[in-house]
A and B are shown apart, each in its own frame.
Chain A
Amino acid sequence: KQEVTQIPAALSVPEGENLVLNCSFTDSAIYNLQWFRQDPGKGLTSLLLIQSSQREQTSGRLNASLDKSSGRSTLYIAASQPGDSATYLCAVSPMEYGNKLVFGAGTILRVKS
């Protein structure tokens, strides 16, 4: 059974810091891995999608890497800003389950100004 773990559960950093969020998954047989952002009371916004054949994806100040063999992904946020404060969720699409997403519990990020 696929399980997704995110570390840390919460993170508070001063503005301008570079930071790394971690995601691990137990079964490497996945179609893709997706990072989402959720603001309080809002839906999930897709940040980056990494296909199983890819190693990383970049969008602006965000960079996500995928090491499928070790079951790990990291989301790197450069020069953090207060507007980056949100919950960040990692989700995998396991081959075993067809097209479901299996989510981690998320990392709550607070960037202090």
Chain B
Amino acid sequence: EAGVTQFPSHSVIEKGQTVTLRCDPISGHDNLYWYRRVMGKEIKFLLHFVKESKQDESGMPNNRFLAERTGGTYSTLKVQPAELEDSGVYFCASSQVTGVYGYTFGSGTRLTVV
């Protein structure tokens, strides 16, 4: 089966611009998660979708971040306007059953805000 796909793999944008990251989960996985790793820190949870509904968005840093999952398939994470501290690697993961099985992660999007 195809894995979790993220694109772009890299993005360099200027401060104040908008960037949209996309994640395609494994087909049939209702659970979709966004995580990010900023330089020198641990990977941190951002939010969790169950199908098209936001189950938990407690990790979203602020209202410059907007995540959507239309139709319960792929998800987008928009950062508008981007700030320097948003630089990092954004990972998407999906899983079949909440709380029981492991996750499959995508290869991440490396975002650099200059």
Is B43 a contact of A43 with CB atoms below 8 Å?
no
Can you list, as one digit per residue, whether each of A92-104 has a CB less than 8 Å from chain B (1) or not (0)?
Answer: 0100011111111
Q: A93-B99, A103-B43 are in contact. Are A98 and B106 (CB under 8 A)?
A: no
Q: Which of A1-38 contact B (CB under 8 A)?
A: 4, 31-32, 34, 36
Is A89 a contact of B55 with CB atoms below 8 Å?
no
State the CA gap A77–B53 with chains docked (Å): 40
Q: Which of B1-55 contact A (CB under 8 A)?
A: 4, 6, 31, 33, 35, 41-45, 48, 55
- When C-beta atoms are compared, the residue in chain B nearest to A47 turns out to be B102
State the CA gap A53–B5 with chains docked (Å): 32
Q: CB-CB < 8 A to B35: which residues of A?
A: 101, 103
Q: CB-CB < 8 A to B55: which residues of A?
A: 98-99
Chain B contributes a number of interface residues (CB within 8 A of A) equal to 29
Is B105 a contact of A34 with CB atoms below 8 Å?
no
Can you list, as one digit per residue, whether each of B51-90 has a CB less than 8 Å from chain A (1) or not (0)?
Answer: 0000110010000000000000000000000000000000
Is A43 a contact of B91 with CB atoms below 8 Å?
yes
Q: CB-CB < 8 A to B95: which residues of A?
A: 99
Is B102 a contact of A32 with CB atoms below 8 Å?
yes
Q: CB-CB < 8 A to A98: which residues of B?
A: 48, 55-56, 98-99
Shortest distance between the CB of B25 and any CB in chain A (Å): 13
Check if A49 is an interface residue, CB within 8 A of chain B.
Answer: yes
Could you jot down 19 A-B contacts, CB within 8 Å?
A31-B100, A34-B103, A41-B110, A43-B107, A44-B91, A44-B105, A46-B103, A49-B101, A51-B100, A89-B43, A98-B48, A99-B55, A99-B56, A99-B95, A102-B45, A103-B43, A103-B44, A104-B42, A106-B42
Query: Nearest 6 A-B pairs (CB), nearest first?
Result: A43-B107, A44-B105, A49-B102, A103-B43, A100-B45, A103-B42
Q: Which residues of A contact B (CB under 8 A)?
A: 4, 31-32, 34, 36, 41-46, 49, 51, 89, 91, 93, 97-106
Q: Which residues of B contact A (CB under 8 A)?
A: 4, 6, 31, 33, 35, 41-45, 48, 55-56, 59, 91, 93, 95, 98-108, 110
